[in-house]
A and B are shown apart, each in its own frame.
Chain A
Amino acid sequence: MQLQQVVEIAKALSQGARIIVMDEPSATLTRQEVEKLFAVIRELKAAGIAVIYISHRLDEVFEIADRATVMRDGETVDTLDVRGLTRERLIEMMVGRKLENEFPKVRAAIGPPRLEVEHLSRAGAVRDVSFHVRRGEVLGLTGLVGSGRTEVARLVFGADRRDGGTIRLDGRALDIRSPRDAIRHGICLLNEDRKAQGLVLGLPVRENFSLPNLGQFSRLGFVRRRAERAAFARRARALHLSVPHDETPASSLSGGNQQKLVLAKWLESNSEVILFDEPTRGIDIGAKYEIYLLMNDLAARGKSILMISSELPEVLGMSDRILVMHEGRLSGEIVDVARATQPQILALAMR
């Protein structure tokens, strides 16, 4: 457990607290630290202290909670005993509708290759990686942390300088040296770390949305605010992005809404190839489901999606095809996703 949180708990106890509220305490903790936190919580429980544990991680709820209250859109849905509660039931309460599947994958009509990457490499990170993404396809890219997945996406997007390799879009070779070049050609990257790389948290949501699109929303260097507002309202509606006002700072959005905001800005810039790095990290299950539906929708509209993920169920559940990386190289490809298993992917990832 991190020292800071230990101190907070100690402080609460020293002040004679009877109830301790923990808001997403595990967000910054490693698995081992979470274990320790849970041990502490059990001790508190034994001492007769109540703990309100706020989390978006379902596993934690089943592991530590006695009762669970589900909230949605600012309202309490229900409070139930965790014993006898199923994961599916919990998700349904959070999402607000019946769930047949946690992963609502719809296979789109898959066309010819759009993005073709050959011999991509960068010293110390990526070695001779070649792949292609087809029109309407969701290509899963997975591997252990540090296997170079994120780096591949960054190289394609021009965020880092590549040592070698060619990138072609619709058969045309692209000279991508910067994110600017990639964006101009309709390639976008949704970073795994939205707060650090995807959004300018202090700026209003509308200005975040416009950042790569100001060319469209301006004349002679002056922002056409009416056009900007209208475009934002349109995209926000289409993506079910709920914000109280378009001046709301991006920092005050939930993880799911932040992800939708990033997606909105890239859709507005007419992205055709979407590099989705950990699309559902830090997002609650309800918003996750919506992101999956959006991915279906994008694929159906002929976009090409490269989905990088560490969550094997997600990779298996949402991909049309899966690539696995190991130490900077592609270590395998799984075409028949329906019959693939987690151990199969893990074997490729750890080869």
Chain B
Amino acid sequence: MTLEGPTRSGGAVGRFMSNYGMLAVLVLLCAFFSWVTVQEQQRSGTDAAAVLARDLEGAGPLPARVLIVAGTGEEDARFADALAQRLSAKGVEVAGKVQGEPRDVRKAIQEIVDASGRIDVVATTRQCADWPLLGDLGAAFPSLADARVRVPASYTWPTFLNTENLRNVASQIVVIAVIAIGMTMVIITGGIDLSVGSLVALSAVVVAWLIRRMGGEAATGPAMVLASVGAVLACGAVGAFSGLVITVFRIPPFIATLAMMQVASGLAFLITQGQSIYQIPDSFVWLGRGADLLGIPNAVLLMVVLYAAAYVLMSRTVLGRYIYAVGGNAEATRLSGIRVRGVIVFVYVVSGLAAGLGGVVTASQLKSGAPSYGLMYELYVIAAVVVGGTSLAGGEGKILGTLIGALIIAVIWNGMNLTGVEGYTQKVVLGLVILTAVLLDMLKKRSWPWRLLRRQARPAA
């Protein structure tokens, strides 16, 4: 008995590579962008304060009087406070803590100098040290000509791997990745759902509209949850409608969901009369911007949980089996006694719900709802699914592959932003990535380069 292709044969490594070869691509991409973004990194906040305090300590006897200067912003405030606290604890006299624009700082320093005279060290951030004011301290304040300006030491590290940046990558991709869960199921059944982008807009608008109806900025937590659930369910209903249209009237999914894309987008504009809705409490951003557990954004946690659930559904449950079977051969599946229509409606409902959830997350990230959200998302989502190794022909694909596909797209995006590739070039690159992914997939499956060689060597009918 012969096996077709390398997919189910070979060792564990071979099987892993054919299943998750894209993971290797992702890792390589991360390594590449880490390598090209290695540069001097500035510390900020309490971290910077700790390093600077240690440095001051290590550089011989502690200075007697220190003036702390920082710019505007929360990070700078934290830096100043933490540094003052640490230095005081070590018995250093903090002559003053000055914060603000250069103009305000100059005035404040002047007051301190007038009042108390001598200062040994001006402790400040890298940014403030670059101000002309601090760059030439003696010129501005003759009495401070001897004072040294000290800043927290910098370090070398890939910008790509900064916590901040990684969090950015994750937040950018969460919405796409969540929607891609539903899309993967739809595509595995051999369908497609073009309405997801519009559903993001519809969902964002509905949740914002409901919150405004339930008190606007004064809306309570339960009210916001209710509004979110309502928006998600509304999108699920649209998905159900698409599924029914596809199964009952046998309209091709491409056409049916193209129509629903228009309908959903139109509804979103109708609900808001084309406006954005901003009357939303600050606490609504908890889902989109919050990070409660170990600094991991809540939306990312939500995504991980959803992927875990989808993975179990697709690989362990009867319904998952049916989804693959329908995509592989709908007629054979029907003749095996499975309710094919039910399975198809189910995947479109999931797709609708996922898009609805994506819309709520978007609304939460942006703290508003507007009918323009989600534009072109269907294409990014499909790209993530395809890059993740799911065949548009249906019948095969992997949920975790989709997650990897979404991450690959996010990493390429982010990496190009970090390295200063401009927007139009980014589009070109992204398009080529999608093409390459599809080609790789075909290559893996059909091993056609080898077959081509064989045909040359042994012409056969």
B316 touches A223 (CB 8 A): yes
B458 touches A200 (CB 8 A): no
Given contacts A9-B461, A221-B319, A245-B8, is CB(A179)–CB(B337) below 8 Å? Answer: yes
B 38-64 to A, binary, CB cutoff 8 A, 1 in contact else 0: 000000000000000000000000000
B 298-325 to A, binary, CB cutoff 8 A, 1 in contact else 0: 0000000000000000001111011011
Given contacts A197-B331, A200-B325, A200-B395, is CB(A11)–CB(B459) below 8 Å? Answer: yes
A 181-218 to B, binary, CB cutoff 8 A, 1 in contact else 0: 01110000101000011111111100100111011001
The answer to whether the Cβ of B334 comes within 8 Å of any Cβ in the partner chain is: yes
The answer to whether the Cβ of A247 comes within 8 Å of any Cβ in the partner chain is: yes
The answer, among A9, A159, A178, A252, for a CB contact under 8 Å with B2, is: A252
9 nearest A-B residue pairs (beta carbon): A12-B459, A200-B328, A183-B337, A180-B337, A21-B460, A22-B461, A212-B336, A200-B329, A211-B336
Name the interface size band of chain B. Answer: 20 to 34
**Residue on A nearest B460 in the bound complex, by CB:** A21
**Residue on B nearest A266 in the bound complex, by CB:** B336
A 219-241 to B, binary, CB cutoff 8 A, 1 in contact else 0: 00111000000000000000000
B-binding residues in A (CB < 8 A): 5, 8-9, 11-12, 15, 17, 20-23, 25, 74, 157, 159, 178-180, 182-184, 189, 191, 196-204, 207, 210-212, 214-215, 218, 221-223, 242-245, 247-249, 251-254, 257, 265
Complex Cα–Cα for A204 and B317 (A): 16
A214 touches B458 (CB 8 A): no
**Residue on A nearest B391 in the bound complex, by CB:** A202
A252 touches B325 (CB 8 A): no
User: Given the complex, which residues of B lie within 8 Å of A8, measured CB to CB?
Assistant: 459-461
**Residue on A nearest B313 in the bound complex, by CB:** A221
Given contacts A20-B461, A197-B335, A198-B335, is CB(A249)–CB(B318) below 8 Å? Answer: no
B 430-461 to A, binary, CB cutoff 8 A, 1 in contact else 0: 00000000000000000000000000101111
**Residue on A nearest B455 in the bound complex, by CB:** A11
Q: List 30 A-B contacts (CB under 8 A).
A: A11-B459, A15-B459, A17-B459, A20-B461, A23-B460, A159-B334, A179-B336, A180-B339, A184-B337, A189-B335, A197-B329, A197-B331, A200-B328, A200-B333, A202-B396, A203-B325, A204-B8, A207-B321, A210-B321, A221-B317, A222-B317, A222-B318, A223-B318, A243-B1, A244-B1, A245-B8, A248-B1, A249-B7, A249-B8, A254-B1
The answer, among B3, B336, B458, for a CB contact under 8 Å with A21, is: B458
**Most chain A beta-carbon neighbours within 10 Å: one of B7, B325, B339:** B325
Closest CB in chain B relative to A37 CB, distance in Å: 9
Complex Cα–Cα for A199 and B328 (A): 9
User: Given the complex, which residues of A lie within 8 Å of B328, measured CB to CB?
Assistant: 200-203
The answer to whether the Cβ of B338 comes within 8 Å of any Cβ in the partner chain is: yes
User: Given the complex, which residues of B lie within 8 Å of A25, measured CB to CB?
Assistant: 461
Given contacts A202-B395, A207-B325, is CB(A244)–CB(B3) below 8 Å? Answer: yes
B336 touches A20 (CB 8 A): no
User: Given the complex, which residues of A lie within 8 Å of B339, measured CB to CB?
Assistant: 180
Task: Provide the main secondary structure of the chain A interface.
Answer: mixed
**Residue on B nearest A218 in the bound complex, by CB:** B318
Closest CB in chain A relative to B345 CB, distance in Å: 16
The answer to whether the Cβ of B422 comes within 8 Å of any Cβ in the partner chain is: no
**Residue on A nearest B4 in the bound complex, by CB:** A252
The answer, among B316, B338, B456, B460, for a CB contact under 8 Å with A22, is: B460
The answer to whether the Cβ of B259 comes within 8 Å of any Cβ in the partner chain is: no
User: Given the complex, which residues of B lie within 8 Å of A184, measured CB to CB?
Assistant: 337
The answer to whether the Cβ of B418 comes within 8 Å of any Cβ in the partner chain is: no
**Residue on A nearest B324 in the bound complex, by CB:** A203
**Residue on B nearest A247 in the bound complex, by CB:** B8
What 14 additional pairs, Cβ within 8 angstroms, besides A180-B339, A202-B328? Answer: A22-B460, A180-B337, A180-B338, A184-B337, A191-B335, A200-B324, A200-B332, A200-B395, A210-B321, A215-B318, A245-B8, A248-B1, A248-B3, A252-B1
Complex Cα–Cα for A127 and B339 (A): 29
Closest CB in chain B relative to A10 CB, distance in Å: 10
User: Given the complex, which residues of A lie within 8 Å of B318, measured CB to CB?
Assistant: 214-215, 218, 221-223
Complex Cα–Cα for A214 and B338 (A): 10
Complex Cα–Cα for A191 and B334 (A): 13
User: Given the complex, which residues of A lie within 8 Å of B461, measured CB to CB?
Assistant: 5, 8-9, 12, 20-23, 25
**Residue on B nearest A41 in the bound complex, by CB:** B461
Complex Cα–Cα for A189 and B335 (A): 8
Closest CB in chain A relative to B93 CB, distance in Å: 68
**Residue on B nearest A244 in the bound complex, by CB:** B1
Interface residues of B in 329-364 (CB under 8 A from A): 329, 331-339
Closest CB in chain B relative to A158 CB, distance in Å: 9
Given contacts A12-B459, A218-B318, A249-B8, is CB(A212)–CB(B3) below 8 Å? Answer: no
Closest CB in chain B relative to A273 CB, distance in Å: 14
Complex Cα–Cα for A21 and B457 (A): 12
**Residue on A nearest B325 in the bound complex, by CB:** A200
**Residue on B nearest A4 in the bound complex, by CB:** B461
Closest CB in chain B relative to A287 CB, distance in Å: 13
Given contacts A196-B331, A199-B332, A247-B8, is CB(A211)–CB(B325) below 8 Å? Answer: yes
Closest CB in chain B relative to A326 CB, distance in Å: 27
Complex Cα–Cα for A74 and B2 (A): 10
**Residue on B nearest A210 in the bound complex, by CB:** B321
Complex Cα–Cα for A74 and B1 (A): 7
Closest CB in chain B relative to A35 CB, distance in Å: 16
User: Given the complex, which residues of B lie within 8 Å of A179, measured CB to CB?
Assistant: 334-337
The answer, among B329, B336, B338, for a CB contact under 8 Å with A201, is: B329
**Residue on A nearest B335 in the bound complex, by CB:** A179
Complex Cα–Cα for A182 and B335 (A): 10
**Residue on B nearest A52 in the bound complex, by CB:** B460
Given contacts A180-B339, A202-B395, A252-B1, is CB(A196)–CB(B317) below 8 Å? Answer: no
Closest CB in chain A relative to B148 CB, distance in Å: 68
Closest CB in chain B relative to A186 CB, distance in Å: 12
A12 touches B460 (CB 8 A): yes
**Residue on B nearest A5 in the bound complex, by CB:** B461
Complex Cα–Cα for A209 and B108 (A): 82
The answer, among B2, B3, B321, for a CB contact under 8 Å with A223, is: B321
Interface residues of B in 1-24 (CB under 8 A from A): 1-4, 7-8
**Residue on A nearest B456 in the bound complex, by CB:** A15
Closest CB in chain B relative to A168 CB, distance in Å: 20
**Residue on A nearest B393 in the bound complex, by CB:** A202
User: Given the complex, which residues of A lie within 8 Å of B324, measured CB to CB?
Assistant: 200, 203, 207
User: Given the complex, which residues of B lie within 8 Å of A159, measured CB to CB?
Assistant: 334-335
